[in-house]
Structure 1
Amino acid sequence: MSLINKIDHAKVLDLTEQIPLDDDQVNSRTLVQRDDLSMTLFSVATDQEIGGHSAQGDAMVNILSGEAEITIEGTIYHLTAGQSIVIPKDARHALYAVQGFQMLLVVVKPD
């Protein structure tokens, strides 16, 4: 039984090729969805945003391409390809695409 069952196994992958970066859109592709863990690819077009919200677990944002402005509890962080940030459980946050970006989001929830 595969636990990561929505993406190829034993194959070298470029995650940026797994989620399109379309004009004027936010796209997502779920790789794993469990009660305690989720892994999702997102793409956010330039000048688009994922509005303010919170998560029921710690959320690790891994920027794969482009440039994002991530606001956590009122503090703004600028991230580019290859950079990551952990958003604490229940912290209000939002994401804005300074330049269209792709990311891998991993959320770890309490048991």
Structure 2
Amino acid sequence: MENSEVEKSSVFIILEIIEYVPNSVVIKTILKKTTGNVSVVSFDSGEALAEKISPFDTFIQVIDGKAEVIIDGTSHLLATGQSIIVPAHTRNTIKASERFKMISTIIKSGYEDFV
């Protein structure tokens, strides 16, 4: 599947539009707009995203498995159905002690004064 948006006005099952790939993190864009984007991401066990600081708030929702979200050095363990908001301008990383899938929603408005 290409990394393009999901077709609008079509029904889909979020867990089925992205697969687990051994030793990988896979990202599939659901919507991409100038004001933000929504992606579904799968992590294989042991994988992680590099630590970063985003200028925007990010809403993380675990839809399968368990994830560790570290925000400014504080670890948060999330299971299926749980969510967290990563505040803008904070150090953060996401790790998989077991494989999991999540929805990531980035809101890119409201921070124009900080740029």
Structures share fold, TM-score greater than 0.5:
yes
**2:57 corresponds to which residue?**
58
**1:23 corresponds to which residue?**
22
CA positional deviation for 1:8: 4.9
- Give structure 1 stretches of 5+ with no counterpart: none
**1:70 corresponds to which residue?**
69
Aligned-residue RMSD, C-alpha: 1.4
Identify the structure with the greater strand proportion: 1
**1:82 corresponds to which residue?**
81
% same residue: 22
What SS does the corresponding residue of 2:49 show, helix, strand or coil? Answer: strand
Question: In the alignment, residue 6 of structure 2 is paired with which amino acid?
Answer: K
Task: State how far apart, in whole Å, the 2-side matches of 1:7 and 1:86 are.
Answer: 27
CA positional deviation for 1:10: 4.7
Matched, 1:108 2:86: no
Task: State how far apart, in whole Å, the 2-side matches of 1:14 and 1:99 are.
Answer: 22
Which piece of structure 1 moves more, 41-50 or 14-23?
A: 14-23
Question: In the alignment, residue 38 of structure 2 is paired with which amino acid?
Answer: M
Q: Where does structure 1 differ by over 4 angstroms across 4 or more consecutive aligned residues? A: none
**1:91 corresponds to which residue?**
90
State the TM-score, normalizing by the size of structure 1: 0.88
The alignment of Structure 1 onto Structure 2 pairs a total of residues equal to 106
Task: State how far apart, in whole Å, the 1-side matches of 2:60 and 2:66 are.
Answer: 12
State the TM-score, normalizing by the size of structure 2: 0.85
CA deviation map 1:63-109 (0-9, x unaligned): 01011111000000000111000000111100100110101100001
CA deviation map 1:22-68 (0-9, x unaligned): 11110001111122111011001000001101222110001010111
- Give structure 2 stretches of 5+ with no counterpart: 111-115
What SS does the corresponding residue of 1:104 show, helix, strand or coil? Answer: strand
